[in-house]
Amino acid sequence: MTVERILPTDEAYELLGLTRELADGELAPRVARFEQQGEFPREVLRTLGGAGLLGLPYPEADGGSGQPYEVYLQVLEILAGSWLAIAEAVSVHTLSCFPIAAHGSERQRKSLPDMLGGDLLGAYCLSEPQGGSDAAALTTRAVRDGEAWVVTGTKAWITHGGQADFYNIFCRTGGPGAAGISCVVADAGTPGILPQVPERTMGLRSSPPAQIVFDGARVPADCLVGEPGSGFRIAMQALDAGRLGIAACAVGLAQAAVDYAAGYAREREQFGRAIGEFQGVGFMLADMATQVSAARALMLAAARLKDAGRPFSVEAAKAKLFATDVAMRVTTDAIQVLGGAGYVSDHPVERWFREAKVLQIVEGTNQIQRLVISRSLTRG
């Protein structure tokens, strides 16, 4: 289905057209093999970087494309409709570039063109085995030793773990709580940075997360991003934008499921009629399509606030919450439309169903999104 889009410039329309060509020509033919083999698609990401899709919302002066977030999210949506692991990788990489782009020193910012061009792939190390939602309680520690920070601890559920070229490490350099957290950026080849065996995941098998152990890794002192103690603030700023990225991934996945289920319902016949003509199926498709449109509208409304420089944290939480819940419902219903055929891997809806679940968890669980929204209401 062609989604009607109202974009700010002709350049944006051309960008979405290029994205569609890449999604149809480069992504869709490969996804099944990469997912089946559990192979990370690093070269595909380089191709997207060469096309300018890995630095879309960053200024051209830094090596980005200078696109509004509203446009960037629609690019993610298109990518997710063909290959969610790629869209999530683009979203996480964009998130991983934020600390240096927004708070980096002049020396650190010299790496931005390689980051935003896709030559350097990033990872974002915040969660820990015993601390996910309670990020302010993280225990990974960095101790100053001469001209280096010595980092010790373990990070968990790291997208691009073992594949990234650089890691943003949120670590404790001071006392307890959020005020004691700083951010350092480290080269993946630093001795003492030890990626572990990737997790065996339900979905996103071509891009599974992994734990990263920091065993006394010595990171140069000038790799501290921002001021000591500013790490938690940097992390939360990045996550506000990252949640919109996950919302876009959810909308793209859900739209693909609606399109596929509708196509199947037009062709599959029972009792002498296409099953889509029966109200039981037709009304289900109508509800699916309406939910996806609502999720897209909520996501883009939050993006426009961000583009206008207005507060958008709560609206980003709403968009992430609603869009990912919609993706879970819509992929579930898509399987129901296909019946038994939806339960086998001959059709992509069973993969989309498995993939939708993780979107309710990453970048802050949906329970955390509800906490953010409820606090904004009860505390004014």
* Contact criterion met (CB below 8 Å) for 115 and 97: yes
3-state secondary structure the chain: CCCCCCCCCHHHHHHHHHHHHHHHHHHCCCHHHHHHHCCCCHHHHHHHHHCCCCCCCCCHHHCCCCCCHHHHHHHHHHHHHHCHHHHHHHHHHHHHHHHHHHHCCHHHHCCHHHHHCCCCCEEEECCECCECCCHHHCCCEEEEECCEEEEEEEEEEECCCCCCCEEEEEEECCCCCHHHEEEEEEECCCCCEEECCCCCCCCCCCCCCEEEEEEEEEEEHHHEECCCCCHHHHHHHHHHHHHHHHHHHHHHHHHHHHHHHHHHHHHCEECCEEHHHCHHHHHHHHHHHHHHHHHHHHHHHHHHHHHCCCCCHHHHHHHHHHHHHHHHHHHHHHHHHHHHHHHCCCCCHHHHHHHHHHHCCCCCCHHHHHHHHHHHHHCC
The tokens for 32 are: 């099944």
Catalytic one among 35, 77, 350, 363?
363
| Beta-carbon contacts of residue 275 (< 8 Å; ≥ 6 apart) | 265, 268, 269, 281, 337
| Beta-carbon contacts of residue 87 (< 8 Å; ≥ 6 apart) | 76, 77, 79, 80, 248, 249, 252
* Contact criterion met (CB below 8 Å) for 166 and 123: yes
Report d(CA 215, CA 370) in Å as an integer: 36
Task: Establish whether 14 is a catalytic residue.
Answer: no
Kindly list the catalytic residues: 363
